[in-house]
Amino acid sequence: MQAVTCSCCGALPDSRPRGIAGLGIREWICECGVTHDRDENAARNILALGHERPVEGIPGA
């Protein structure tokens, strides 16, 4: 299971959901003060990672 990283500051705060038991936690607050919805935070992290990778094999991209 991936670590829950704050999509705002990149921290791995102690308040983040963890493990199987943490799946029921839908909202958490980072040490930077931002309140996160679990799914929205994950989507922002995935989008950020996608922007870091070069596009390969797509003509015109």
Confirm whether 59 is domain-assigned: no
Confirm whether 31 is domain-assigned: yes
Mean pLDDT calculated for residue range 28-53? 88
pLDDT of residue 49: 87
CA distance 48 to 52: 7
Confirm whether 14 is domain-assigned: yes
In three-state form (DSSP H/G/I as H, E/B as E, the rest C), the secondary structure along the chain is CCCCCCCCCCCCCCCCCCCHHHHHCCEEECCCCCEEEHHHHHHHHHHHHHHHCCCCCCCCC
Where is mean pLDDT largest: 3-12, 21-30, 34-43, 51-60? 34-43
Confirm whether 15 is domain-assigned: yes
Confirm whether 24 is domain-assigned: yes
Confirm whether 61 is domain-assigned: no
Residue 34: domain span: 1-54
- State how many domains the chain has: 1
Confirm whether 33 is domain-assigned: yes
Task: Give the pTM.
Answer: 0.70
Q: Is 13 exposed, middle or buried (0-12, 13-18, 19+ CB in 10 A)?
A: middle
